[in-house]
A and B are shown apart, each in its own frame.
Chain A
């Protein structure tokens, strides 16, 4: 077995914890998460392996816990109860965590379950609504209706969990901005604390991407994409939802603290197949495949499948990229300090200037953040920072004219 540096790393107490349960009722057509249709799979065995990995790798006293997937709510409440009990035994999260989120889908969420989840320590629910348009739900391969989705939002409240987030996807083929805004209004009517609204992305390897490559789906123009993006920000803003990240909106104080850690490039431990961790400047991941992951766990091995350790300057570039996705932006001093880059080694300064000059970046107190015009260009701006901090592309010793000794071609 190859040995990974990751195996020697122990997370600091308080490190954020993510647990991945990979099963769903059916695979959605746009989905590129590591998730499998549950039918015929060994749900119990997988849960046992997750629990075993929890005991081996969970950090002490995590400040946030996020159980995602897949559709964790698919598991019977007793099973989830066992998972959270073991999790607490291994990490003590019930005493330490400020936020415990569980991802769920409408078809497996009712008030009783919510009550059970609450008793396990879950205090935040992220619910996959995705769309309220029956045609789009069908195109997405969702197994619930709009009504079930709205009922699930109600159930979450009735069951006693206050912090609720709805996941939505816009920009489906054929959708108009008006139709989307109407759906969005129906969701905001619930006055949830948090909404994630994603522009539909055609990720590699998904069913929809294949359809699109086969020419079966119309392609959106850039202007229309931009119209959706800005209409979404506008409509949610009008209702008091602040865009605190590219696709995440919340009422005051309702940010997802777990995700905010990712965007600040902070450490986290991920458990379960495909889960990724970042500990001590190294990022590493479990296999994106059930069996190799389980085999490793059952053998008593670490399941690490890959790892990468970036140089300080590269880490700084990553911190810029991730931080610029948030409204808070990047604190230059803090970013340098956490990446251990000395100010005189910081190659991003010219980029900061350039982006400010172009009106895409602004400074608010200690933080640099994207301007209104910069938001839809977040990747283009990020690329500038990644460019500047990439180790490979840096020109080696710049050529000095004095070094020319004439061409080495044979004189003819």
Chain B
């Protein structure tokens, strides 16, 4: 395929602005999908994506578009919009020369519109702004064009007005892509270099590698070397996503596709590695990807200690298709052996946890998320900790991550929002009007506050219209304390958390209150206590169970009633015994503020 006839682009936007819907229309226009197979957000094929109506993983598709009598190959990548999946966007942009910046013309510019646009600017891509959802009567494309110019600094006066829903204007977008997005710069004649940008594990076919050919050509039957791991594999099958996997004999520079070689060991494939021709000319490794920075950490423990190995295997398989979380073995006094995992955000954490449960049938306990702290040990030594349990007895100073937070919101809510920022130990940086009605508010806020309950507060204070984006800019020494929780007199390390000394009393009380509701009654009274150091700052009791007995049990009932009792026991899924107390999963999250699902 002549690289001059290829266009690689991503669709980027804030969450829900219509990226996947736009991709649907493009697939239809290019006849990539049969009519009867079509469904909304076709590329969102993961169960959790369909359930939640959001894109979690970027998806690449090859489509063909005729322009002025010439047939072009378009490789489009539909990216996720949620702040947690920024890393996916960053990776996608690296494989492209252009980006469609989609803005919902009824909502206007939002936090990830700005954040993702900046990523595209940094990657030096041609950015094509699009005003979407103009079928909505309350859309205000002109105002939104102005917001784009103010917030991102690109000209949006001639931005196409489209409706991804009705398809209006989408044909013109395809033409615009051909005209404005530059073709890939690489050459077919160079020695092969392909970048592994993703992979999945298939029970029958082994690891399926997703690649973008940077230089040269990869062909079926070739011996391919993974430059990073040194492993050599034959190209048993290669092909394109159209969007189904479609075999082809070769993929040339600028093309995106897959590679299958019956690879059974997950460790043999590394996301970001370079694929080259085995015994071919020596070439330099591609830069690959910068490691993701993990924002939050939480521990996973199998409910049954015996399932530790299964959990490790499940995490390994999952990390192949999501290279952006980390996991390391960890031990807890209360919960035994498990893994400490690093995530890009709370939604990311929730998704991983649910995928482990559904795709790998894991039954586990997850501790409340925390951020990473820097501990200044004195004498120039600093260590990093990912859980309150790791805090050393003696240290000089404790530093916490500070996020530079950009909040985009309707001007009406600015007062309420500032109050919330102050309540969360925020430090005002600046504010800016993007248009008459939309304001950008910038604060420095400790990351721990953001994961505690800031996001939910923001959503309710702005009736859902406020959005936020953040990056870690600093670590700052603060008066932080460890809030310990004692259940039935026993210190449960997995329930402890860090907080500012001034908040300890209030957080201790609210944690204990929530625990009291979350832990079921037992045959004995269970005292709950919150403590800072040796000082008990809050206490409550869970009253003992008083009556629990079946009235009738005769010969005909025995099997059925026993199963009933066992079923009540099965309700103990995601429950761990600590001492003699059964603690269910939701109790472990009691140390967080009240939060709903973090979409």
Contacts and interface: CB of A to CB of B under 8 A. Distances in A.
Interface of A: 18, 20, 33, 198-201, 222-223, 225-226, 229, 246-247, 259, 262-263, 268, 270, 274-276, 278, 283, 285, 308, 318, 321-322, 325, 354, 358, 360, 375-383, 386-387, 390, 393, 395-399, 401, 403-404, 406-412
B561 to A, nearest CB: 9
A383 B552 CA distance: 16
A193 B486 CA distance: 52
A136 to B, nearest CB: 16
A375 B272 CA distance: 64
B568 interface: yes
Interface in B311-335: 312-313, 315-316, 319-320, 323, 326-329, 331
Contact of A387 (B270, B271, B524, B569): B569
Given A395-B306, A398-B306, A399-B337, A201 B550 contact: yes
Contacts of B524: 358
Given A399-B309, A407-B315, A408-B316, A386 B326 contact: no
B545 A408 contact: no
B565 interface: yes
Given A321-B562, A399-B305, A226 B546 contact: yes
Interface string B548-575: 1111111110110010011011000000
A229 B554 CA distance: 19
A246 B549 contact: yes
A246 B548 CA distance: 11
B4 interface: no
A262 B558 contact: yes
10 closest A-B pairs (Cβ-Cβ)?
A: A408-B316, A395-B306, A396-B306, A198-B551, A399-B308, A378-B549, A409-B319, A380-B548, A376-B547, A410-B270
A246 B566 contact: no
Chain A CB within 10 Å — which of B266, B327, B549, B580 has the most? B549
A358 B316 contact: no
Contacts of A318: 558, 562
B553 A229 contact: no
A408 B312 contact: yes
A395 B305 contact: yes
Given A222-B546, A222-B547, A275 B554 contact: no
A223 B521 CA distance: 14
Given A226-B546, A407-B312, A412-B271, A322 B551 contact: no
Given A377-B523, A412-B323, 19 more contacts: A201-B550, A201-B552, A262-B555, A270-B555, A308-B559, A321-B565, A358-B524, A377-B548, A378-B548, A378-B550, A380-B523, A386-B562, A393-B569, A395-B307, A396-B304, A399-B336, A408-B312, A408-B313, A410-B319
A409 B548 contact: no
8 contacts: A278-B555, A283-B559, A285-B559, A380-B545, A395-B307, A407-B329, A408-B312, A410-B271
A406 B550 CA distance: 49
Nearest to B562: A318
Given A308-B559, A386-B566, A393-B304, A407 B550 contact: no
Contacts of B270: 410-412
Contacts of B69: none
A229 to B, nearest CB: 6
A379 B550 contact: yes
Contacts of B337: 399, 401
Nearest to A246: B549
Interface of B: 266-267, 269-272, 289, 291, 304-309, 312-313, 315-316, 319-320, 323, 326-329, 331, 336-337, 339, 523-524, 545-556, 558-559, 562, 565-566, 568-569, 580
A351 to B, nearest CB: 11
A375 B547 CA distance: 9
B396 to A, nearest CB: 31
Contacts of B555: 18, 262, 268, 270, 276, 278
A217 B339 CA distance: 48
Nearest to B269: A410
Given A198-B552, A397-B306, A408-B267, A226 B558 contact: no
B170 to A, nearest CB: 37
B558 A283 contact: yes
A223 B320 CA distance: 54
Contacts of B331: 401
A333 to B, nearest CB: 22
B306 to A, nearest CB: 4
Nearest to A201: B551
Contact of B549 (A270, A354, A379): A379
Contact of B551 (A247, A321, A395): A247
B523 A360 contact: yes
Nearest to A274: B556
A370 B269 CA distance: 60
Nearest to A34: B556
Contacts of A223: 546
Contacts of A409: 315-316, 319, 326-327
A302 B291 CA distance: 67
Nearest to B557: A276
Chain A CB within 10 Å — which of B271, B523, B566, B568 has the most? B523
Contacts of A226: 546-547
Contacts of A199: 551
A363 to B, nearest CB: 18
B553 A325 contact: yes
Contacts of A360: 523
A152 to B, nearest CB: 21
Contacts of B305: 395, 398-399
Nearest to B308: A399
B545 A246 contact: no
Contacts of B313: 408
Given A201-B552, A407-B315, A276 B559 contact: yes
A96 B248 CA distance: 84
Contacts of A325: 553
A377 B549 contact: yes
A388 B320 CA distance: 38
Nearest to B199: A410
B327 A379 contact: no
Nearest to A405: B312
B329 A404 contact: yes
Nearest to B522: A380
Contacts of B568: 383
Contacts of B289: 412
A223 to B, nearest CB: 7
Nearest to B319: A409
B552 A247 contact: yes
A229 B307 CA distance: 42
Nearest to B310: A396
Contacts of A381: 523
A383 B550 CA distance: 12
A397 to B, nearest CB: 6
B565 A383 contact: yes
A386 B565 contact: yes
Contacts of B552: 198, 201, 247
B546 A376 contact: yes
Contacts of B267: 408, 410
Nearest to A385: B565
A292 B309 CA distance: 47
A166 to B, nearest CB: 15
A409 B315 CA distance: 7
B306 A259 contact: no
Contacts of A201: 550-552
A379 B291 CA distance: 53
Chain B CB within 10 Å — which of A377, A379, A406 has the most? A379
B554 A259 contact: yes
A201 B309 CA distance: 43
A379 B569 CA distance: 11
Nearest to A406: B329
Nearest to A204: B564
Nearest to B229: A410
